[in-house]
Amino acid sequence: MTSTTDYDLAAVQRRVVRVLVAGQVLGGLGIGATLAIGAVLAAQLAGTEAWAGAAATMSTLGAAAASIPLARLAARAGRRTALTTGVLTSAAGCVVTVAAAGIPSFPLLLLGFALLGAGVSVNLQARFAATDIASAERRGRDLSIVVWSTTVGAVVGPNLFGPGEVIAEALGMPELTGSFVIAVAAQLAAVAVYLVGLRPDPYLVSRTLPPAPQAPAATSEVRAHRLVILAIGTIGASHAVMVSVMSMTPVHLVNHGATLTIVGLTISLHVAGMFAVSPVFGWLSDKIGAISTILIGQATFVLALVCVALGADDTTLVTVGLILLGLGWSASTVAGSALVAQVVTGSARTRVQGRTDLVMNISGAGGGALAGPVLALIGYSGLAWVALVLVAAVVAAVLVVTRTRTPEPAPAA
């Protein structure tokens, strides 16, 4: 293994961040297209709105299924191999989705969405890859810059309806599937970026760094364990809140007469809220602490859900609520991820990061799966009020962990 003395770590880290940014921009196209058109396509093929959440559900289940294998692959062969494998799997998902719409086959569509979830898993792993050799002073900011870079692709993705329709017509493809052709091309470009750019591999370099000092007392170890649980729980609950409301918004808007253009714009603004200002939340995590930034995110969730619940019949208020929903997700996810990267070091890093992504995606899958029936039973406003319960649970957990003092270990007998 190459010694760290052969590298200028600061220069390698700058290169790693630039490469991850480029890969996220390209890979985000597939994610954005899935978020915007997935719910409509699923409802169309299934013939009922109850399955509208299947796109988000299967995508997040696919991401959950890929998170641990990709984390293990990163631990064994490095980030470059893991990220390229995930992106290629996501590109295959685009192809399967198009085929499912052409047959048509709803089960095959679900498989396509599940494979597309690997792209989401790559998106999540990339934020941790930015912290492999980052300094403690810039860990949150470097992580958030990579999260921010998803903005470009994910915002453009939902607005590929127009060019996608042209491509679909020219190639004789099924309706609503042309944007996936653009996504495949972008994802193949992302593979090339990762293969060429991630040399040396940041995770492999990090394994040559001196080990981080261990906690000096049992008290510190117990508190660190509680902080990790809090961080993972916050990420999972916040993702469930975001996915449940976001995944039902296209269906709600279409039912209220909105055009696909309006739906695409609304989701684009929501995704912009998720990613565009994430460096601000990364900076806040470094400056005022991850816990305080998590609370800011939860407060933003409250504003978003109240706005959506009270303004469900107003497209403008729904759009404002979706923007705030994205901001709340961004603050909570960036701060929670920074807390995991801060507390967990050494050989356990990729394992805990993989589990974090697993919990996040399972929570999102649960939120997406339950959102459809909840929408059918109590409507879009009712869905927002139910989501507030998860926000309250996160705030309560933060207050318990931060106010509970861990007792000193008893003297030895």
- Domain boundary assignment for the chain: 4-204+217-403
Question: Cis omega (within 30 of 0) on the bond before 107?
Answer: no
CA-to-CA distance for 289 and 285, rounded, in angstroms?
5
Query: Quick check: helix, strand or coil at residue 178?
Result: helix
Closest by CA to 77, choosing from 188, 207, 193, is 207
CB 408 within 8 A of CB 245: no
CA-to-CA distance for 400 and 404, rounded, in angstroms?
6
Neighbours of 404 (CB within 10 A): 10
CA-to-CA distance for 206 and 349, rounded, in angstroms?
11
CA-to-CA distance for 343 and 73, rounded, in angstroms?
22
* pLDDT tens readout for residues 336-392: 998 998 888 766 788 888 899 899 888 887 887 788 888 888 888 899 999 999 999
Amino acid at site 236? G
Closest by CA to 353, choosing from 95, 127, 48, 62, is 127
Q: Which segments in the chain show pLDDT lower than 50?
A: 1-2, 4, 214-219, 406-413
Residue 318 CA from chain centroid, whole number:
21
pLDDT value for 218: 40
pLDDT value for 413: 34
CA-to-CA distance for 208 and 321, rounded, in angstroms?
46
Query: Quick check: helix, strand or coil at residue 54?
Result: helix
CB 69 within 8 A of CB 95: no
pLDDT value for 412: 36
CB 309 within 8 A of CB 384: yes
The residue with tokens 């930034």 is 293
Domain 4-204+217-403, CATH: 1.20.1250.20
CA-to-CA distance for 363 and 332, rounded, in angstroms?
14
